Amino acid sequence: MTRTIAHPANADIASALTEARADFVKRNPKSQKLHEDACGSLPGGNTRTVLFYGPFPVTMVKGQGANLWDADGKKYIDFLGEYTAGIYGHSHPVIRKAIDRALDDGINRGAHNQMEGKLAALICARFPTIELVRFTNSGTEANLMAITLARAFTGRKKVMVFDGGYHGGIFTFHDGNSPVNGPFDFVIAPYNDAEGTRKLIAEAGKDLAVVAVEPMQGGIGCIAADASFLRVLREETQKIGALLLFDEVMTSRLSPGGMQAVLGITPDLTTLGKYIGGGMSFGAFGGRADIMSRFDPRRADALPHAGTFNNNILTMSAGVVGLERLYTPEAAVKLNAFGDRLRDRLNAATRDKGLNMQFTGIGSMICVHFVKGVIKSAKDAKKANKDLGELFFLDLLARGIYIARRGMMALSLPLTEADGDQLVAAVEEFVSSRKRLLQ
């Protein structure tokens, strides 16, 4: 059951936030101490930027099914789902058994193993546009390899990405070209602007190697691409001989065959992420056989692709049972239908009442935005009230609901309808107690 919180300080957002932060500090002394200790050896006590928030992040010490427990002993329903990677929940017995069995047979073998070909075949069957596939250790690495491959295959240098896009730690475009991005010749185009992008593709012409796009931008707030926009990308890249890369690290979970299957659009290359590897460290890139075969080591002109853990037996084993037995096509349909129903209920409690609050996304991916109007791009999302976003996050934590600080949710298989009811109840309570701040 969610915890009910009284809110005397609702005169304005600043007062409400001050109270919520003070309550957070009071409830989390052990997490505060752990964070302060970590600051002695980690910059800001942090080694993964997205997980940090003020006054300090909660430290989670246990996960089981769809639940988490923090260092101070509080239990949460996990609606974050490890930013889509945790689709199987925590310690799923089928995943755990596969990993235990792999451990029993020894890891770090320095050789081919019996599971990598099986996982590759499952992926190629699930995503028909992937004729051949190779494995990496993360979505970031998968996108790096796919983009580098596109440049080698075409002999061109320019890479088109989109404002608000996220393709990993070295491909982040929420505020232009980040100083830690890979040193590529990027063309940053406007997301969901077909004509503006068409013009930029034409200007780049024969210098453009690849257009990399998320069918739904996850990092900036679950903003779906218009099908017509993506079709323009397919048409224009074909005209000039550039490749089209669908980054489906997140969105591949949204149907049995990813968003490309829903849209009926065939990219040249596709990247995938950690849930495909059973939630372990994993990434994959694949696509047309004539492109991917450049990595065939039997060729005299083969491109190299190293990586000690590309085929690590723990991930391969977890990935196989995950796709074969757990996230089947039927399970994908069911989970995403659950997400669509849940999003509709959340919007009925917020946007449909004319409040400055709405939920975007597709299927099992959801994000809250504290702004009215249609959200089609990063520019639209950035109009949202950030203080209300922080207040919502802190209020949900106080009620035992765990989401991303930025408002993102990714549903996992262990979540139940009752869990969804608790999320809706927590949102309705937030709306009731904070209504004057949302108008």
Which residues have a catalytic role annotated? 166, 247, 274
What residues are paired with 90 via a beta bridge? 65
The number of beta carbons lying within 10 Å of the beta carbon of residue 412 is 25
Question: CB neighbours of 126 closer than 8 A, spacing ≥ 6?
Answer: 256, 257, 323, 329
Judge whether 102 and 317 are in contact, CB under 8 Å.
yes
Across the chain, which distance is largest between two alpha carbons, in Å? 72
Which regions of 67-174 does DSSP assign to beta strands (E)? 67-70, 75-78, 132-136, 158-162
The number of beta carbons lying within 10 Å of the beta carbon of residue 430 is 25
Q: Following DSSP, what letter does each residue of 37-98 receive, concatenated?
A: HHTTTSGGG-SSGGG--SS-PPPEEEEEBTEEEETTS-EEEE-SGGGGTTTT-BS-HHHHHH
3-state secondary structure of 410: strand
Angstrom distances, CA of residue 204 to CA of 171, 194, 199, 200, 267 = 20, 15, 9, 6, 19
